[in-house]
Amino acid sequence: MATYQEFIQQNEDRDGVRFSWNLWPSSRLEATRLVVPVSCLFTPLKERPDLPPVQYEPVLCSRANCKAVLNPLCQVDFRAKIWACNFCFQRNPFPPSYAGISDVNQPAELMPQFSTIEYIVQRGPPTPLIFLYVVDTCLEEEDLQALRESLQMSLSLLPPNALVGLITFGRMVQVHELSCEGIAKSYVFRGTKELSAKQIQEMLGLMKPAASGPQGRPVAPQDPSATCRFLQPVHKVDMNLTDLLGELQRDPWPVPQGKRPLRSTGIAMSIAVGLLEGTYPNTGARVMLFTGGPPTQGPGMVVGDELKTPIRSWHDITKDNARHLKKATKYYEALASRAAVNGHSIDIYACALDQTGLLEMKCLSNLTGGHISMGDSFNTSLFKQTFQRVFSKDYNGDFRMAFGGTLEVKTSRELKVSGAIGPCVSLNAKGPCVSENVSHSFPVTFFVHNAPIPQGGRGAIQFVTQYQHSNTQKRIRVTTIARNWADAQSQIQHIESSFDQEASAVIMARLGVFRAESEDGPDVLRWLDRQLIRLCQKFGQFNKDDPTSFKLSESLSLYPQFMFHLRRSPFLQVFNNSPDECSYYRHHFVRQDLTQSLIMIQPILYSYSFHGPPEPVLLDSGSILPDRILLMDTFFQLVIYHGETIAQWRKAGYQEQPEYENFKHLLVAPLDDAQEILQNRFPMPRYIDTEHGGSQARFLLSKVNPSQTHNNLYAWGQETGAPILTDDVSLQVFMDHLKKLAVSSAA
Amino acid sequence: MEAEDLYIKPGNHERGWNDPPQFSYGLQTAAQGGPKRAPLNKRVPPPQLTGSLCPVSRATPMIPFSPPSNPLAPPPCSMNTPLQSCLVAAPPISGMMMAMPPPPCPVVEQTHSASGQSESEPDVDDVVALLNWALAACRHTVKKQVCDDVAKRLKLFEDMWKSGKLSLPVRRRMNGLVQELKSRNWDAADEIHRALIVDHVNEVSQWMVGVKRLIAETRNLNPDLLHTPEADPIIDNRSTADSE
Positions of E strands within A537-643: 541-543, 546-551, 604-609, 612-616, 629-633, 637-642
Judge: B84–A676 Cβ closer than 8 Å, yes or no.
no
- Interior/surface letters A542-557, b for 16+ CB within 10 angstroms, e for the rest: beeeebeebebeebbb
Judge: B23–A679 Cβ closer than 8 Å, yes or no.
yes
Interval A212-235 mean pLDDT: 62
User: What pLDDT score was predicted for residue A445?
Assistant: 62
Judge: A149–B205 Cβ closer than 8 Å, yes or no.
yes
* Type of residue found at A55: Q
- Interior/surface letters A53-83, b for 16+ CB within 10 angstroms, e for the rest: beeeebbebeeeebbbbbbbbbebebeebeb
**Distance of alpha carbon A399 from alpha carbon A388, whole angstroms:** 12
A606 in Cβ contact with A671 (< 8 Å): no
* Cα nearest neighbour of A143 on chain B: B15
For testing the chain A interface, which of B86, B200, B220 should be mutated: the one with the most A CBs within 10 Å?
A: B86
Q: Which of A613, A616, A678 sits opposite B21 (nearest CB)?
A: A678
**Distance of alpha carbon A456 from alpha carbon A459, whole angstroms:** 10
User: What pLDDT score was predicted for residue A342?
Assistant: 87
Rounded to 5 degrees, φ, ψ at A198 are -65, -45
pLDDT digits (tens, 9 = 90+) for A316-370: 998 999 999 999 999 999 999 999 888 899 999 999 999 999 999 999 998 888 9
Judge: A618–B46 Cβ closer than 8 Å, yes or no.
yes
Q: Is A437 exposed, middle or buried (0-12, 13-18, 19+ CB in 10 A)?
A: buried
Distance to chain A for B100, nearest Cα, Å: 7
**Distance of alpha carbon A515 from alpha carbon A524, whole angstroms:** 7
Predicted confidence band at A453 (pLDDT cuts at 50, 70, 90)?
low
Helices (H) and strands (E) counted in chain B, each on its own, are 8, 2
Distance to chain A for B181, nearest Cα, Å: 17
Judge: B15–A377 Cβ closer than 8 Å, yes or no.
yes
**Distance of alpha carbon A331 from alpha carbon A300, whole angstroms:** 6
Q: Which of B21, B22, B26, B34 is nearest to B4 (CA)?
A: B26
DSSP A137-205: --S-HHHHHHHHHHHHHHHHHS-TT-EEEEEEESSEEEEEP--SSSS--EEEEESS----HHHHHHHTT
Pick the more confident residue, A395 or B220: B220
C-beta neighbour count of A321 within 10 angstroms: 11
**Distance of alpha carbon B122 from alpha carbon A1, whole angstroms:** 63
Number of residues in chain A: 747
- Which is it for strands A130-136 and A285-291: parallel, antiparallel or unpaired? parallel
B83 in Cβ contact with A664 (< 8 Å): no
Distance to chain B for A140, nearest Cα, Å: 12
DSSP structure class, residue A276:
H
A556: Cβ contacts below 8 Å, ≥ 6 apart: A496, A499, A501, A535, A539
Chain A to chain B Cβ contacts (< 8 Å): 252
The ipTM of this complex is 0.83
A650: Cβ contacts below 8 Å, ≥ 6 apart: A642, A667, A691
Specify the DSSP element, H or E, that contains A338: helix A325-341
User: What pLDDT score was predicted for residue B112?
Assistant: 42
B232: Cβ contacts below 8 Å, ≥ 6 apart: B133, B136
A160 in Cβ contact with A234 (< 8 Å): yes
Rounded alpha-carbon distances, angstroms, from residue B78 to A607, A658, B98: 20, 9, 21
Interval A541-551 mean pLDDT: 89
Q: Low-confidence residues of chain B, pLDDT below 50?
A: 51-70, 80-118, 231-244
Helix crossing, A559-568 with A594-601: angle to 10°?
60
Q: Which of A374, A361, A377, A458 is nearest to A415 (CA)?
A: A458
C-beta neighbour count of A450 within 10 angstroms: 14
Interval A476-492 mean pLDDT: 89
Distance to chain B for A41, nearest Cα, Å: 18
CA angle A266, A269, A272 (to 5 degrees): 150
Predicted confidence band at A538 (pLDDT cuts at 50, 70, 90)?
very high
Q: Which of A334, A309, A305, A333 is nearest to A322 (CA)?
A: A309
Predicted confidence band at A291 (pLDDT cuts at 50, 70, 90)?
very high
Give this prediction's pTM.
Answer: 0.87
User: Is B197 near chain A, with CB under 8 Å?
Assistant: yes
Average per-residue pLDDT in chain A?
A: 87
**Distance of alpha carbon A81 from alpha carbon A78, whole angstroms:** 5
* Cα nearest neighbour of B88 on chain A: A613
Judge: B212–A613 Cβ closer than 8 Å, yes or no.
no
- Which residues of A are less than 8 Å from B48 in CB distance? 731-732, 735
A336 in Cβ contact with A269 (< 8 Å): no
User: What pLDDT score was predicted for residue B135?
Assistant: 93
User: What pLDDT score was predicted for residue A25?
Assistant: 87
User: What pLDDT score was predicted for residue B27?
Assistant: 85
A114 in Cβ contact with A342 (< 8 Å): no
Judge: B33–A395 Cβ closer than 8 Å, yes or no.
yes
**Distance of alpha carbon B55 from alpha carbon A712, whole angstroms:** 15
Which of helix, strand or coil describes residue A607? strand
Pick the more confident residue, A68 or A26: A68
Supply the Cα-derived Rg of chain A in whole angstroms. Answer: 28
SS3 content of chain A, % helix, strand, coil (to 5): 35, 25, 40
Interval A588-601 mean pLDDT: 89
Judge: A380–B100 Cβ closer than 8 Å, yes or no.
no
Supply the Cα-derived Rg of chain B in whole angstroms. Answer: 26
Given a cut of 60, is residue A161 above it in pLDDT? yes
Distance to chain B for A302, nearest Cα, Å: 24
Q: Which of B16, B37, B205 sits opposite A152 (nearest CB)?
A: B205
Q: What percent of chain A has pLDDT over 90?
A: 53
Q: Which of B194, B209, B210 sits opposite A157 (nearest CB)?
A: B194
Pick the more confident residue, A559 or A455: A559
DSSP structure class, residue A260:
-
Q: Which of A481, A712, A700, A725 is nearest to A603 (CA)?
A: A700
Judge: A686–B17 Cβ closer than 8 Å, yes or no.
yes
What residues form DSSP beta bridges with A486?
A25
* Cα nearest neighbour of B149 on chain A: A239
User: What pLDDT score was predicted for residue A397?
Assistant: 74
Given a cut of 70, is residue A630 above it in pLDDT? yes
Distance to chain A for B49, nearest Cα, Å: 6
Sign for the pseudo-dihedral over CA of B6, A351, A175, A223: positive
Interval A147-161 mean pLDDT: 93
Judge: A242–B205 Cβ closer than 8 Å, yes or no.
yes
Pick the more confident residue, A708 or A437: A708
pLDDT digits (tens, 9 = 90+) for A117-145: 999 987 667 778 899 999 999 999 999 99
A463 in Cβ contact with A44 (< 8 Å): yes
**Distance of alpha carbon A22 from alpha carbon A20, whole angstroms:** 7
Q: Which of A236, A226, A230 is nearest to A168 (CA)?
A: A230
User: Is B118 near chain A, with CB under 8 Å?
Assistant: no
Pick the more confident residue, B9 or A69: A69
A474 in Cβ contact with A379 (< 8 Å): no
Interval A482-494 mean pLDDT: 88
Sheet-wide strand order for A82-84: A75-77, A82-84, A91-93
Judge: A662–B45 Cβ closer than 8 Å, yes or no.
no
User: Is B43 near chain A, with CB under 8 Å?
Assistant: yes
User: Is B28 near chain A, with CB under 8 Å?
Assistant: yes
What residues form DSSP beta bridges with A289?
A134, A348
- As a whole number of angstroms, the longest Cα–Cα distance in chain B is 86
Judge: A625–B61 Cβ closer than 8 Å, yes or no.
yes
- Which residues of B are less than 8 Å from A612 in CB distance? 59, 84
Which of helix, strand or coil describes residue A437? coil
Pick the more confident residue, B16 or A381: A381
User: What pLDDT score was predicted for residue B30?
Assistant: 78
Judge: B76–A606 Cβ closer than 8 Å, yes or no.
no
Judge: B49–A668 Cβ closer than 8 Å, yes or no.
no
Judge: B44–A395 Cβ closer than 8 Å, yes or no.
no
A6: Cβ contacts below 8 Å, ≥ 6 apart: none
Judge: B39–A595 Cβ closer than 8 Å, yes or no.
yes
